[in-house]
Each structure stands twice: as structure tokens, then as C-alpha cells.
Structure 1
Amino acid sequence: MTGSHPPSRSRIPGSGLAKGLAVTLRTMTKRAHTAQYPDVQPELPPRSRGVIGLFEENCTVCMLCARECPDWCIYIDSHKETVPAAVPGGRERSRNVLDRFAIDFSLCMYCGICIEVCPFDALFWSPEFEYAETDIRDLTHERDKLREWMWTVPAPPALDPAAEEPKELAAARKAAEKLAAARAEAEQAPAAPDATGPAAPPAEGGQA
């Protein structure tokens, strides 16, 4: 015994074409919503990936971003400087000084690995995207331009009020409260008597 199939609906020939033409006619009578760029700037998500900004003060020239970049589009040059001892008799130390930090955006695929692996928060995403050039060689931007883009980096999202406080902030807060309590206790403690004060007068009838 074979199962019965529901009868297929009869379609009028050309109904699909007529429906498509009706949609076209309705669209033709509506006003266009095309954004007139560049007169009207697009509304981008606040954390969109445009270009990479460099916060030079945080860079320690660890080279981690350049080593992890899959496109090898980050170029870093540096030299070592000797820093004198902070205290007399201390040891001198050397530090890396950044000479060049450049990113070739003609090779960059905007994966964000360099930003993720930076341990010192020196690289950030900027929503800026208007950096087109007529020559592909001009897409290699040096640290001065990368530093300018830092001003376009949006502020980080606010912490959830119900979230647990980060352990670093909690430790710093406890240390500050402990120091403030120690200072308050020292200010409230009575001053010790001065041992160099005037001597007591000699008793009468005493021997010289």
C-alpha cells in the first residue's frame, strides 16, 4: 500500500515573474537610501578594525608582535642604551630604544594577532579607515603616523558593575588601604617625652 501525496498546488504560468516585477516597481518609487560618502560618514561599530595605532611609550621592543605576525608586515629597528645606576654603587643596566616601528598595510590582513600577543598594551585597533594611497609603497606607515592614529582609538568598554574586581586592582586597593591606616595610626599616636628636656631640681638637704 503506497502512501498518498498531497496534491500539488497549481501555479499560474509567469506568476513568479510578475511577483518580481511588482517588487521592482515598488522599489523604483521609493527614495534611495544611499549614503553620500564622503559627505556623510558611515556609522561604524565602536570596536571595528580599521588601522593599528601605536602607543610608543609602552613599547619595550620585545619583538613579539613582529615574530608572531603571519604576514611579516611589521618592521622594527632599535638600539641599546646604557642607563646609569639609580643609586650610588648600583649597577648600570641596558635598555632597548625604539628607532623604527612600521606596518605595511598592503600586506596586513587585519588578523589582530600582534595586538593580542603584545604583553605591554602598545598596539590598539582604531576604527580609522581613510588611508587610501595612489602608490602601494605609501601604505607602509611609520611610527609617527601610527602614533597619530592612537588619538582615534575608542575608550575601552566599561566594566560590568556586577563583575568581580580584577585581582590586580584588589591587591592595589588593599595595599593602599593598609598604607593609609598605618599613616593614620602614626598621626594619632601620642608623642614620646623628650629625653633632652630640663632636669628636675635637686632635693633640699641633699648632699653635694
Structure 2
Amino acid sequence: MIHGSIHLLEEKCTSCMICARECPTWCIRLTSHMEQTVPAPGARPRTHNVLDTFTIDWSLCMYCGVCIEQCPTDALVWGGAHVPPADSLADLLHGRDELAPTEGGG
């Protein structure tokens, strides 16, 4: 298993915030909102979190894997190589698009 960058499997993320709370460097930030599901006839309405933003600040990340280990839905997985150096700190903030796995699986 290559322990490099971290990928977000967005369809599995429930916005529970466990990854952000358990991260020792607080490099993960996420926002979400609540949506109500359409109930089946006779059932009560339910709400669930919907992910709005998810960002990892690679200038803070220690690549420790705590977020991956603690994620109850396996929405975070090890990706390929480490994130390359950048010209500015802003370039080390990766959002949902950059954290998505590539077609090649890594």
C-alpha cells in the first residue's frame, strides 16, 4: 500500500466531521448542510448531511493516516505519491476536485 496523498470518495462521505476532529494537525476543513429526504408514505421525514466543501491543507498534513483510519464510511483512502511542492501555500490547499481519485485508480 502506497501511503502518499489522500483521496476523497465523495459518494461515501456523510459529512460526519470525524476526520476533521481527529486530525492532529487540523488540516481538514469541511462544510455541509442538512437536507430532508422525501419519506415513504406513512414514514416520518428524515434529514441527512450533504457535503458542500472538503479541503486538505497539505502544508499542515503529516500523512499520518488518522483521518483514513477514523472514517466510519471509508470515504478517505490512500492515493498515489505525496503531493508535490508548490510555489505558494495557497497551491497546497486541495479541494474536492483535486482530492478525487483519478481514472487510473491512484
> Is the pair's TM-score, using the shorter chain for normalization, greater than 0.5?
yes
Shift of residue 130 of structure 1? Answer: 5.2
Shift of residue 48 of structure 1? Answer: 2.0
**Residue matched to 2:72:** 119
Residue 79 of structure 1 aligns to a residue in which SS? Answer: strand
Q: Which of 104, 107, 112 pairs up with 2:57? A: 104
Rounded Cα–Cα distance in structure 1 between residues aligned with 2:3 and 2:20: 19
**Residue matched to 2:99:** 146
Closer/same/farther in 2, CA of residues 146 and 50 from structure 1, 3 Å limit = same
If each structure's helix is expressed as a fraction of its own residues, which one has the higher value? 1
Rounded Cα–Cα distance in structure 2 between residues aligned with 1:149 and 1:111: 22
Q: Is the 8 A contact 1:75 1:102 kept in 2?
A: yes
**Residue matched to 2:21:** 67
Residue 119 of structure 1 aligns to a residue in which SS? Answer: coil
Summarize the alignment of residues 108-187 of structure 1 with structure 2, pairs less than 5 Å apart.
Answer: 108-129=61-82, 131-149=84-102, 151-153=104-106
Shift of residue 99 of structure 1? Answer: 0.1
**Residue matched to 1:181:** none
Shift of residue 69 of structure 1? Answer: 0.2
Matched, 1:80 2:56: no
CA root-mean-square deviation:
1.5
Rounded Cα–Cα distance in structure 2 between residues aligned with 1:140 and 1:101: 10
Q: Is the 8 A contact 1:65 1:115 kept in 2?
A: yes
Amino acid at match of 1:125: W
Closer/same/farther in 2, CA of residues 100 and 50 from structure 1, 3 Å limit = same
Shift of residue 129 of structure 1? Answer: 3.0
Tell me: higher relative CO, structure 1 or 2? Use CA pairs within 8 A at least 6 residues apart: 2
Q: Percent identity?
A: 51
Shift of residue 127 of structure 1? Answer: 2.1
For the pair shown, the structure with the greater C-alpha radius of gyration is: 1
What are the superposed Cα offsets for residues 4-57 of structure 1, whole Å, 9 maximum, x if unpaired?
xxxxxxxxxxxxxxxxxxxxxxxxxxxxxxxxxxxxxxxxxxx12110000001
Aligned length: 106
TM-score (norm 1): 0.48
Q: Is the 8 A contact 2:5 2:83 kept in 1?
A: no
